[in-house]
Amino acid sequence: MSFPVHRMRRVRSTEALRSLVRETRLAPSQFILPLFVCPGEGVRKEIGSMPGNFQLSIDELVKECAEVKSLGIGGIILFGIPEVKDEMASGAYAESGIVQRALQALRAEVSGLLLITDVCNCEYTSHGHCGYVRGNEVDNDITLEWLAKSAVSHARAGADIVAPSDMMDGRVGAIRKALDEAGFPSTPILSYAAKYASVFYGPFREAAESAPQFGDRRSYQMDPSNAREALREIELDIAEGADMIMVKPAMPYLDIVRQARERFDLPLAAYQVSGEFSMIVAAAQNGWLDRNRAVLESLTAIRRAGADFTLTYFAKEAARLLA
Ligand code: PBG
């Protein structure tokens, strides 16, 4: 039986009805805000390609996090811009590295906000690649040692969750083992399990000063053409001990989010990356899109596809819109 017995519009006619039958809802606690911490004091340097996002010195970061917390946002993910970069990414795992010092300050000043750290080397290497470069190749297994040391140093400095984003093989297992041996068996790993070699990271590389100086990341990040391979990546990370998994980017990869949701029962995150953010901001600045609606619709779509939580540069803005 069909029309006129069934009229889909019946339950769309008022906001009260629409709200009653709404399948997907957003809450600030499902957002994670990416933040960039840099050396210095009183530094709040806007990132040209990501309007409204800043490189923050630790004192400014502490203030920012207090505000983030007051908006009910779930947590932050920290990226560091070190004083110096070198071939060994030593700033990534130094006990007094920029992220480690930021964590100590945040631990002391802000509570109840989840502190997640991005575990990667590209912000810390002089060449901008995510690991140890031998010839023109990124060496997988030496890079694992750096990642493991970084994750332990983050946990020691107060990270609640560590999130490896490098796409080396075996990193989750290496990090799990190192955390356990260092006395952090309860620190969860949020794995950037299916991370694609995406053009949409462009604005982030200005923010984190991490663009590769030669070549690209296609020998470690995934080919945008592949979906089944993403499921294998996720499966392997789970086998190695991932507690939560992530798909990145989000909007161009909602099919992957959906497939991951259906196949795996772990908490699932999606990362609405810098290019996704900047596209909406640029279109809104031109008067081509309604910014508020674009923000909420994009975040709703990501959640509808199956993400439990979303890493998004719109976290503060969306939390205010939902209030
Ligand atoms: C580090 C890392 C990147 C992003 C998150 N972690 C950059 C990259 O892989 O080049 C991108 C985030 C964004 O674009 O918002 N490896």
Amino acid (1-letter code) at residue 3: F
Predicted pLDDT at 22: 98
Pick left, alpha or beta for residue 159 (phi over 0 → left; psi -120 to 50 → alpha; otherwise beta): beta
When pLDDT is cut at 50, 70 and 90, the band that residue 198 belongs to is very high
Angle at 26 between CA 54 and CA 228, to 5 degrees: 85
Kindly tell me if the per-residue pLDDT of 144 is higher than 90: yes
Whether residue 248 lies in the annotated active site? yes
Q: Is 93 helix (H, G, I), strand (E, B) or coil?
A: helix
Residues 74-90: tens digit of each pLDDT: 999 999 999 999 999 99
CA 92 / ligand 1 centre spacing (Å) = 15
Pick left, alpha or beta for residue 89 (phi over 0 → left; psi -120 to 50 → alpha; otherwise beta): left
Domain 24-322 annotated CATH 3.20.20.70: yes
Predicted pLDDT at 192: 97
Residues 160-179: tens digit of each pLDDT: 999 999 999 999 999 999 99
Whether residue 195 lies in the annotated active site? yes
| Count of beta carbons in the 10 Å neighbourhood of residue 125 | 27
For atom 5 of ligand 1, the residue with the nearest CA is 165
Predicted pLDDT at 98: 98
CA 272 / ligand 1 centre spacing (Å) = 11
- C-alpha 3/C-alpha 213 separation (Å) is 61
Amino acid (1-letter code) at residue 87: E
Say which residues have a Cβ less than 8 Å from residue 251's Cβ, sequence separation at least 6. Answer: 272, 276, 298, 301, 302
Domain boundaries, the chain: 24-322
Please give the share of the chain, as a percent, with pLDDT higher than 90. 97
Give the CA diameter of the chain: 70
Kindly tell me if the per-residue pLDDT of 136 is higher than 90: no
- Mean pLDDT value across the chain: 97
Backbone angles phi, psi at 126, to 5 degrees: -65, -25
Joined together, the tokens standing for residue 252 give 């161009």
Residues 270-313: tens digit of each pLDDT: 999 999 999 999 999 999 999 999 999 999 999 999 999 999 99
Positive or negative torsion for Cα 75, 56, 210, 203: positive
- Please, are residues 54 and 300 in contact by the beta-carbon 8 Å criterion? no
Q: Which of 165, 247, 274, 313 to mutate to test the pocket of ligand 1 (most atoms within 8 A of CB)?
A: 165
Say which residues have a Cβ less than 8 Å from residue 82's Cβ, sequence separation at least 6. Answer: 39, 91, 92, 97, 98, 123, 124
Q: List alpha helices for 71-139, DSSP H.
A: 90-93, 98-109
Any ligand 1 atom below 6 A from CB of 121: no
Kindly tell me if the per-residue pLDDT of 10 is higher than 90: yes
SS3 content of the chain, % helix, strand, coil (to 5): 45, 20, 35
When pLDDT is cut at 50, 70 and 90, the band that residue 1 belongs to is confident
Region 243-249: mean pLDDT is: 98
